Amino acid sequence: MNSQAAFKVGGRIEAPYYIERPDIEGTLLRDVRTLSQSAVIMAPRRFGKTALLQRLCAQLGDAMLAPYVNCLPLHRAAAFHDRIVEAVLGAFESRHGKTRRLLATWKDIIKRPVIGALKRLEEVGGSVQSVGSVRLRFRTQEADEDELLRAALDFPERFAEEQNETVLLALDEFQALSALGESIYPLFKSAMDAQRRVVYLFSGSSLGLLQDVFAQEGKSPLYQMVGRVFLGELDAARVAAFVEERLQTADGAQIEPNALDRYAQLVGGIPYYVQKLGLQLEHRLYLRDDARTVTREDVEAAFDSLLDEIDLDFQERWTTRWSDQQQAILLALSECGRTSSEIAEAVGVPPENLTYNLKKLVGTMILSKENGSYRITDRVFAAWLARL
């Protein structure tokens, strides 16, 4: 059996494991290259936002500075500031080599005592000196958090102008920056209004918060500042072609047509589960080394194993995240989509009593609403609920 795995779960997802989204990728690449529009990518968790952002950054790395930043750990102003500066300097080194070693110099400077750091910043000069000076003033409480955040957001433009570069700043899980306070969004607007060399790709998995930030006319500081891209499930035909090709290439295995149909039905086009179910199938093939044909029974058994493996994760979500009525709504939707009236009948309450919780579940992307019907966005979670 081939030593290369057919599927990959976790970590950076690159070829041959990445499943392309040609239309979305092409549009975003064009807008970023021309600096014509920033964008926010909205999708539930496990839908491939991170892989998409990292792929775009990799594709653009030869043409511009394209740092990727995960916002989840950036709940303090100093952490946000340092990560933005380091990401831009790191992208510069990746593009041009370490001839100037600005990233290593920056890391050394912010660890030094203030007097020594200021002297070293004078030697470096330029935008690095400017942003570093604000960082040191924050350390001595001479600058507040807003000044520190403003310096971080101004830095990509100032550095790009010095180096005659353009910058794509990809900020994943953007909703996490709400921990920095409401002022972060007006600061972003101010920076974006003034910048000519920087374009942004934001992504997030909280539809409600992202709509508050980007889509409320008269209330959102970033209203109409970015294009909005809703990342749905992968195309079924593309998923089927990917699964078939990976099993053949890595394992020399064929998958029966009805098994491939069932595969797509069970996990849909959610990238994480496409990979996860494939890995479960590979386990079965490995333990049954003489097998070269994947049957529908293999797919069903692998899916049961997948549900068993993530059972504890789903149990934790189920017992801690939702109210009693929200749980009742989810149970009512576990086997099929329903209208609000049908959910109300199943739950045993008037439809108007469900309005708040339905809106909240849609806002957190637990539910999707299509043509007047609600369904659970994560179809594997729905299958786990149906099995309760």
Q: Mean per-residue pLDDT for 125-152?
A: 95
C-beta separation of 251 from 285 below 8 A: yes
Structure-block tokens of residue 40: 């926010």
| Total residues belonging to the chain | 388
Q: Which candidate, 360, 361, 359, 343, places its Cα nearest to that of 351? A: 343
pLDDT at residue 200 is higher than 90: yes
Q: Which candidate, 9, 95, 14, 86, places its Cα nearest to that of 53? A: 14
pLDDT of residue 32: 97
Per-residue model confidence as pLDDT tens digits over 348-376 = 999 999 999 999 999 889 999 999 999 99
- Domain ranges in the chain are 22-230, 236-309, 320-386
Structure-block tokens of residue 129: 């000196």
* Confidence band for 286, pLDDT divided at 50, 70 and 90: confident
Instruction: Out of 48-57, 92-101, 237-246, 249-258, pick the least confident.
Output: 92-101
Domain spanning 320-386 has what CATH number?
1.10.10.10
Q: Mean per-residue pLDDT for 178-190?
A: 93
pLDDT of residue 1: 46
Per-residue model confidence as pLDDT tens digits over 144-181 = 999 999 999 999 999 999 999 999 999 999 999 999 99
pLDDT of residue 289: 64
Burial class (CB in 10 A: 0-12, 13-18, 19+), 372: exposed
Q: Which CATH class is domain 236-309?
A: mainly alpha
What's the pTM?
Answer: 0.90
**What residue type is assigned to position 249 of the chain?**
T
Domain spanning 22-230 has what CATH number?
3.40.50.300
* Confidence band for 98, pLDDT divided at 50, 70 and 90: low
Per-residue model confidence as pLDDT tens digits over 290-331 = 668 999 999 999 999 999 999 999 999 999 999 999 999 999
